[in-house]
């Protein structure tokens, strides 16, 4: 019961953090390790539970997602394919390569968020390839993956940061859902940890957008970029 309550609390906090500043796994993954799960088991269990954070965030972000249905449908298949590819890579290869490049990816994405380029080429192959690549990262390693997705979308879409954040939450569901399905069949998921963590994710993800829409656009953008840089530094040092 103590572990279940602890995972529920960690899920709520992670869902809030994830839907606002894109760093859910920075809270939930260490919590799973603290409760004794091995690293790979914690990683796949976290990914399965993360689906519920995205579902809660999508429900809470309906005002920001209004009018973006076609864009979401157009980009969702890319993130789903990327998430599947990342999950397969995780099941077949060690994570050492992604662990080495993760800090640089996250730091670079944070710089893009701080000073985003003028959105262009939303329908172009370069932007779509970038979105696919970060979806692979989300399915494979995942730490601060939302920061990378937000950065790519900020370079693709001309919209307020709150609307980009809502789109990021919805597309992250696609990548995590496919990866979670593969992990559920082939990965060492700890199913006893999933229900309390997932319930917390669902609640926190639903509450988070209400906070995000009350932040000024620049404040939200700077908050995501600052948190991304902090995570990049932490991963580089560890």
**Tokens, residue 96:** 């050492």
Gap between the Cα atoms of 91 and 75, Å rounded: 25
Residue 148 neighbours by CB under 8 Å, 6+ apart: 105, 106, 109, 134, 137, 138
Residue 56 neighbours by CB under 8 Å, 6+ apart: 15, 19, 201, 202, 203, 204, 205, 206, 207, 208
Q: How many other CB atoms sit within 10 Å of the CB of residue 199?
A: 19
CA angle 127, 131, 132 (to 5 degrees): 115
Q: In this predicted structure, what is the pLDDT of residue 192?
A: 93
Gap between the Cα atoms of 153 and 165, Å rounded: 9
Distance of alpha carbon 32 from its chain centroid, rounded?
Answer: 17
CA quadruple 20, 18, 78, 218: dihedral, nearest 10: 20
Q: In this predicted structure, what is the pLDDT of residue 117?
A: 62
Q: What is the DSSP string of 11-37?
A: HHHHHHHHHHHS-HHHHHHHHHHHTT-
Gap between the Cα atoms of 73 and 76, Å rounded: 5
HSE value, Cβ hemisphere, 13 Å, CA-based, for 223: 18
* Relative orientation angle of helices 125-140 and 161-186, to the nearest 10 degrees: 50
Q: What is the pLDDT of residues 74-98, one digit of tens each?
A: 899 999 999 999 888 878 876 566 6
Q: In this predicted structure, what is the pLDDT of residue 200?
A: 93
Give mean pLDDT in consecutive 10-residue pieces for the chain, a chain of 238 residues: 88 85 80 85 88 90 90 91 88 70 76 69 79 87 79 85 89 88 90 94 90 78 80 78
The pTM of this model reads: 0.81
């Amino acid at each position: 019961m103590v572990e279940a309550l602890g995972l529920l609390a960690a899920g709520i906090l992670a869902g809030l953090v994830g839907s606002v500043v894109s760093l859910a796994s920075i809270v939930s993954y260490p919590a799973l390790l603290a409760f004794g799960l091995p690293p790979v088991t914690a990683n796949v269990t976290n990914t399965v539970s993360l689906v519920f954070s995205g579902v809660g965030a999508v429900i809470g972000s309906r005002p920001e997602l209004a009018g973006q249905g076609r864009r979401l449908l157009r980009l969702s298949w890319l993130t789903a394919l990327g998430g599947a590819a990342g999950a397969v890579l995780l099941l077949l290869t060690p994570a050492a390569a992604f662990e080495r490049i993760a800090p640089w990816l996250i730091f670079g994405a944070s710089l893009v968020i701080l000073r985003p380029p003028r959105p262009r080429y939303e329908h172009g192959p370069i932007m779509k390839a970038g979105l696919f690549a970060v979806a692979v990262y989300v399915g494979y390693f995942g730490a601060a993956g939302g920061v990378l997705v937000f950065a790519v979308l900020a370079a693709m879409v001309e919209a307020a940061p709150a609307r980009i954040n809502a789109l990021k939450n919805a597309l992250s569901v696609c990548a995590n859902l496919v990866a979670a399905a593969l992990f559920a069949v082939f990965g060492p998921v700890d199913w006893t940890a999933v229900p309390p963590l997932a319930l917390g994710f669902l609640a926190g993800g639903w509450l988070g957008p209400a906070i995000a829409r009350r932040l000024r656009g620049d404040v939200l953008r700077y908050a995501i970029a600052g948190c991304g840089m902090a995570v990049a530094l932490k991963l580089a040092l560890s």
